[in-house]
Amino acid sequence: MTDRMPAGFSRDQEGRLLIAGRTAEAWAAQAGDTPVFVYDRALLAARVAALRAAMPAGLQLHYAVKANPMPALVAHMAGLVDGLDVASAGELELALNAGMAAGAISFAGPGKRDRELEAAILAGATINIESAGELHRAGVIAGRAGRQARVALRINPPFALKGSGMRMGGAASPFGVDAAQAPEVLRAMAGRWFDFRGLHIFAGSQNLSETALLEAQRETVALVAELARHAPAPPPLVNLGGGFGVPYFPGDKALDLAMLGKGLADILDARPASLQASRFALELGRWLVAEAGVYLCRIIDRKTSGGESFLITDGGLHHQLAATGNFGTVIRRNYPLVNASRNGAEWEILSVVGCLCTPLDRLGDKIELAQSGVGDLIAIFMAGAYGRTASPQAFLGHPAPRELLV
C-alpha cells in the first residue's frame, strides 16, 4: 500500500511525513497546537515558475486572494505574480499591505458598498464593474472625490466553461454584465470620471479539461474583440479568468500545462488587430496554492460502532469544510489523507471524523490508512485553497486553527 500524496511531499526513514524537509510533528510543535495549516513556500514558487514556463511570453499572472488570504502567504505571492485580485475592502487592504502596487490590484464582486468603491478609487485599484448601477455609483463617488475611478467591465458571457466545478457563464447571473448589455455600459465608461482599464470574463472554475479551457479562452477573446468596438479605447488589459482545476480525487488527472500554453499562444497570436496592443492575464487561485498546503490534526480518540472504526480528531469541517464534501461537492469523495506519524506495514479501513456534533463532520470516509492510534497526526492534503476562511470557524466555538508559511 502506498500513500496518495501530491508531488513535493515524502516520508523519512521512520515513516513520518515530511513537509518542506521537516516532520509534520515538528511543524505542529512549532505552531504550538493542532489543528494547523502548513503552507510550503517553495512549492508555491515552483507552481508559479512552472506556469510561467509553459504560458505565452508576456501573459500576466494574477493571484485570486480569496483562495487563501493568509497575510504572509499573500505577501509571498505578491512577489511572484503580476497582480492580485480581491473581492472585498478587507482583501484590498490585505493586498496593499502585501506590497502590491495599487495599479496591479483588481476588485471584483457583485455587492460592493459605496465605502468599498471609495476605498478602491482612492487607492487607485481597478474596479471590475458588475452592473450599470455600480458604474453610476462609482462615477458619483469619483466626482465627489475629484479622482478618476479606474474601471474594467466584468462580462457575464453567453457561454460556460464546460465541465467546470462551478459555472460562471452561459446563464442568468449576479456576476458581471450580460454580453448583450455590455455595449451600453462600455459607452458610459467614456465619462470624465472614469479611466477605462479593460475587460474581465470568468466562465468557470475547477476544470480539468484542456480542451474545454482552451475553447472558453478562444470564445473569450472573440467576445472581447466584438465588445471592444464599444469601449472608450482599446482594452489595456483583458483578464481571461482562470478555471484551472487540481486533481483532488482518485482518477483525476493534472492539467497538461504545455498543451494549455501552446493552445493559448495560438489563440493570442490569431487575435484581431483591435486587440494587438492589449495585454492579457490569467487569474488563478486554487491552482496556485491548493497543493502547497497540508492540514494537520491529531487523533484524540478511537472507537468502533456498528463494526466500523472511527478516528476522532481535533480538526473538522469548521476548518476544512471542502474536505468534508460540504463546499459545493455533489458526490462526496475523499481528499488525499494519510497518517503523518507512521507508515507501518499494517493497513486498515477507517473513517476519520472531526470533533463537531454533526454527522457532516467526516474528513475521510472508509479510507485505507496505516494502523493508527490516539496521538497520531492526520494529514489532509490539497489544503492550500479554500480551507480556513471558507469554513464556518465559529461553529460550536472551537479555537481557530494555526497557520504556518514555511
Task: Please check whether residue 362 lies inside any domain of the structure.
Answer: yes
Give the range of the structural domain holding residue 162, as residue numbers without chain letter.
Answer: 101-284
204: pLDDT confidence band, cut at 50, 70 and 90? confident
Pair 240, 357 in one domain: no
**What percent of the chain has pLDDT above 70?**
96
Where residue 383 sits, what CATH number does that domain have? 2.40.37.10
The rounded distance, in Å, linking the Cα atoms of 374 and 8 is 27
Q: What is the pLDDT of residue 116?
A: 98
Same domain for 345 and 271: no
Average pLDDT over residues 336-342: 96
Q: Indicate if 224 and 353 belong to the same structural domain.
A: no
Cβ neighbors of 3 (< 8 A, separation 6 or more) are: 11, 336, 338, 343
Looking at per-residue pLDDT, the higher value among 1 and 353 belongs to 353
199 closest CA partner among 127, 111, 251, 123: 127
Which of 232, 265, 284 is the C-terminal boundary of a domain? 284
Does 297 share its domain with 243? no
Terminal Cα distance for the chain, rounded: 29
Work out the pLDDT band at 149, boundaries 50, 70, 90: very high
In this prediction, residue 171 has a pLDDT band, given cuts at 50, 70 and 90, of low
Q: Is residue 3 part of a domain?
A: no
Query: pLDDT at position 4, please?
Result: 82
Please check whether residues 148 and 265 belong to one and the same domain.
yes
Rg (CA), the chain: 23
How many domains does the structure of the chain reveal?
A: 2
Q: Give the percent of the chain with pLDDT over 90.
A: 87
What are the two backbone dihedrals, phi and then psi, of residue 293, each rounded to the nearest 5 degrees? -115, 145
Q: What is the pLDDT of residues 254-307, one digit of tens each?
A: 999 999 999 999 999 999 999 999 999 999 999 999 999 999 999 999 999 999
pLDDT digits (tens, 9 = 90+) for 93-115: 999 999 999 999 999 999 999 99
72 located within any domain = no
Q: Do both 280 and 295 map to the same domain?
A: no
Q: Which of 41-55, 70-84, 341-355 has the lowest mean pLDDT?
A: 341-355
Q: Which of 227, 256, 284 is the last residue of a domain?
A: 284
What per-residue confidence (pLDDT) applies to 164? 46
pLDDT score at 262: 98
Helices 132-145, 114-123: crossing angle, 10 deg rounding: 60
Q: Are residues 252 and 321 in the same domain?
A: no
pLDDT averaged over every residue in the chain: 93
Answer yes or no: do 168 and 267 share one domain: yes
Regarding whether 302 and 182 lie in a shared domain, the answer is: no
Query: What pLDDT sits at residue 202?
Result: 82
- Cα 63 to Cα 6, 24, 85, 233, 397: the distances in Å are 21, 27, 6, 26, 31
Look up the pTM and report it. Answer: 0.94
| Number of CB atoms found within 10 A of residue 19's CB | 24
Last residue of a domain, one of 257, 284, 311: 284
